[in-house]
Amino acid sequence: MKKFFQSNLKFLIAYLVVMSIAGVEISEGVPSAPLSSQGNTGTDVGTNENPYIVPRTNDDVTIDAFLKEEAWQNALVIDLPYETDPGENIPAPVRTDALLLYDESHLYIGFKAYDPDPKLIRARYTDRDQIWNDDYVLIFLDTFNDERRAFALRSNPFGIQADDIRLPNSEAISWDAIYESQGRITDWGYIVELAIPFHQLRFQRNKENQIWGINIMRFYPRSVLHELSAVPIDRNNDSILSQFIKIRSFQDVNPGRNVDVVPSVISAQTDHRPDFPEGDMSKLSRDFEAGVSVRWGFTPNLTLSGTLNPDFSQVEADAYQLDINQPFALWYPEKRPFFQESSDYFTTLKSAVYTRVMRDPLWGAKLTGKEDKNTIGAYIVEDEITNLIFPGNQGSSSSSLDMNNTSAVLRYKRDLGRSYTLGLMATDREGKDYYNRLIGLDGDIRITNSDRLRFQALGSSTAYPENIAGEFDQDRGNFKDYFVALEYDHSARNWGWWLDYDDVGPQFRADLGFVPMVDYRNVEGGVNYTWYGKPDSWWSYFYLSSELNYYEDHDHNPLMKNASLNISYGGIMQSHAHVQGNTVEESYGGKIFNLTNFSSCLGLRPTGNIWFHTHFVWGDRIDYTNTRLGNRFRFDPEIDLNLGRHLKLGLYHLYERMTVDSKHLYTANISQLSVVYHLNVRTLFRSIVQYVDYAYNVQNYTTDIDPEYRYLFTQFLFSYKINPFTVFFLGYSDNHLGNQSYDLTQQDRTFFVKLGYAWTR
């Protein structure tokens, strides 16, 4: 194993050397005549050599979606002349003007989005980061002009915000910024106005003018979703950021003290039934806690964040996932603000950092920033709960220990030119008689506009408490192992192909990451081709792909061989569909299973008020509990319905039935209903109901199992939110359980209130 690890490192080093050598309501609005514009029609304008100049103003600008201040008359105006999807750099079907200017503390952007029929504008009152089905406008800001990350800020016609951080391949990373926005529908379209404080952004702060990369877009959903852009997008270039136009200005901008302080108070009372399912409810706990989070830009490019007694609770419950016949641990998205901030700094090819394992932190501190070509990220957290995943190549198990641990992560990246990035990663988790330490090297190499190589090499060292090692069949004492991964992607306009390789040792552990499978080598490759439709065609694209996978363990025993064929479609009424077929040879529990299965999905949005999606899976599947061949049918319909601009209903259902030897094994039903009513941009009432019903045929199981499991979760919430951190929540939630012996019975209930305030300077 050591020789294999060393040979992989030699290959990586040699490859790097070779690559280095290779060099809303209708109202009267402002008149439709455009403001004065510098335009963006010249091919030599908007480059690093000849960037657009963003004017500075000393006048006050009021964010009210009217654009009446005199300062706007001198703004840089950039139009959006291109439709980049589904049309390929064809003339935009509607006109959009974006106006830019700044003062010492803010960047201002005004949008004039013209529409031939404003009654068709899709806009509703919704929560932050939930505007994806509306008309909306967007600005990307590559503030370091390094084409490696960009801040994305959006608004729908009511001024409701959505933001994230965008990577070169269009991957989105969660981010919450505090900025002002207002929107207003007019008789000719709509206006959106944004004011972005400089202290919310990261950039090279100096006294000279700076060059930033930007792109400005408008999403115009009608029969199809038209994506409009200030720049043409080359589909043979898989880096969106490298195609941005350039702006220059921001001399002597004032980021302020660059301090954000967010104090919060949380009060909650939980009652439970101690003699469940019998007896009455009694008080389990009553808590009142105060906490604070602080973010301080203590140098021009480094930010220190800290939190004491943080509120890491989630206001919105995770979507319930089917956990029957699932051999490996399930993944859940991160929603907590402390971990979401600058999370892209810690992103690597494989999930070496998965912050959901940190369940109940007492305190945390984080340092992030970029200085020239160097990026650094680090944090340390003390957690009262130690969650563990014990991986294997046939499945994983888990445990949660009532034991404090201290978790630390260190990340460093170095940009080499405009195309290469090398990084180092180290993590450390320490508890009583326990530790897990990881160190690694990774890289991202853009060989051409269409070709990209990524790699990662990790080594781990682990020791578990004696009782845990015995209970979960883990090695005693200290044990070490490695993870090596390579991924090569060619992504062009029509043709694409990829080749991946993973090698994970049996004793590799990433307890601060998400690696539920170890002891395998995997080679994966595939090819795809895309056809694009003509403007006004009933279809926008057809996509055909094929993929091959091979897995084996470190004793060279085959684990799985898989071949798949997929065809996808997108077209009118924002419809999409795909069909996929798989042939699989899988080894499990000492047996070889030959499987054939299929999946398909269909989704469409015939109007702005209704969205429908359904997913089918059918065919062979292993019964992992009893190590037998079975047959599965799964059906997942989902519908969203907007009743006017204020009320939204969402219904999701999952049905899965599995048979073995033509006999029923289990049936699973999972339903979720959500009802959200928005009084205005800031205020909402929401209710969520989740219901789970599992029915098992005990006579068809070789192990003991209860014939029925039922679960009901309800949550009711009142929310008033000024920005992501200045909030007031008042809510109630409870849990009910039932089985073959007793009906659904309330197990517990919680009343909670939270108040948070963001103080920024």
All residues at 6 or more sequence positions from 434 whose CB lies less than 8 Å from its CB, including other chains: 386, 403, 405, 463, 464, 465, 468
- Domains within the chain, CATH numbers bracketed: 35-249 (2.60.40.1190), 326-518 (no CATH), 534-624 (no CATH)
Count of H-run helices and E-run strands, the chain: 3, 42
Closest listed residue to residue 472, CA positions, set 557, 395, 384, 555: 395
Other Cβ atoms closer than 10 A to 677 = 16
Confirm if 352 and 438 have CB atoms less than 8 A apart: yes
Q: How far, in Å, CA of 588 to CA of 524, rounded?
A: 20
Separation CA 134–CA 608 (nearest Å): 8
Q: For residue 371, what pLDDT is reported?
A: 85
> For position 313, what pLDDT does the model report?
53
List average pLDDT for each run of 10 residues in the chain, which is 761 residues long. Answer: 41 36 34 40 75 95 96 96 96 98 95 97 94 96 92 97 89 87 97 94 81 97 95 93 94 77 92 94 89 83 85 65 92 82 87 90 91 91 94 94 95 92 96 96 94 97 94 94 97 96 98 96 97 93 97 96 97 96 96 98 94 97 96 97 96 97 96 97 96 96 94 96 93 96 96 92 77
Q: Tokens representing 137?
A: 């406008």
CB-based contact 445:454 (threshold 8 Å): yes
Q: Are 262 and 758 in contact (CB under 8 A)?
A: yes
pLDDT for 289:
85
Q: Which of 167, 145, 151 is nearest to 239 (CA)?
A: 167
pTM: 0.87
How are the residues of the chain apportioned to helix, strand and coil, as percentages rounded to the nearest 5? 5, 55, 40
